[in-house]
Structure 1
Amino acid sequence: MNGAGGACPRAPGDVDVGSARPRLAGVRRRHARWDSLTEGERYAFALDDMEQLFGPVVRSEYTGVGATQSRTRARYALGQAAMFTPGQLHDLHPATRTVEGRVHFAGEHTSLKPAWIEGALESAVRAFLEVDPR
């Protein structure tokens, strides 16, 4: 429900939160598991998952070079993303994308899809078009 008492409009591809709860719980468990691993253990964890998707070719193609990151342990990230409380996104969204002189803001936190790569990409396109509206 929105603040006016009506149903919130859904964007194409939106997921009913009720049906997503079991999957989201699994994602949270995997995220906690990832953060508990050492960097070396994360490689094995990631390769196991990739092997399930793409088969044994993953092991033969892996060069032994890579990088892993725990957002929870990252000094400047300190977690995944900002999570808005009910009503905050609606109230704060216009201010997050306000142009300040020659400074334009982009990032998932300035989109209507916070914490998603899609929001980051959409905000990048928006900021680019603000700077160069050709």
Structure 2
Amino acid sequence: MISKTKLFSLRFDVHEEFTVKEILDSFNQVEISEVLVCDGLLLCVTVTRDEYSQRPMPWNPYLGQTRWIQTRRSYDRSDVYALGYDKRTNRNHKILMYCYGYKEDECEIYDVKSDSWRTLDVKLHWGWGEEYFHVSASLQGNT
């Protein structure tokens, strides 16, 4: 549940007491702009209030784990994210980030297991205006 830029995990069992846990206490610095879901993993895309830049944060609600992902450079709110996994490698989750730039577009993929980014040598020809670049996707299968 997202409530006023705070993220909570709710846990309940009919035989135990209901518990509410705040996931991160640093949400006074960021807002969650979108949440993507793939195979039980959530990707919270956060936006800093002072810099107007995005930063991805995967969250595994089952295990109660979060991780801030450090991007290789500062991007802005026109970035597009997708969350998926590679079914050939035991569902290794990946984050695809497409950066819509004024001079040059860039596409990068983050491998959750290896904690590393790599740049993809691709050119995407969307044929859309910038207003459509605020949409993200969840992917299943080959990423």
- TM-score class, shorter: under 0.3
Specify which structure has the bigger relative contact order, considering alpha-carbon pairs within 8 angstroms and separated by 6 or more residues. Answer: 2
TM-score (norm 1): 0.24
TM-score (norm 2): 0.23
Which structure: greater strand fraction?
A: 2
Which structure: greater helix fraction?
A: 1
Larger Rg: 1
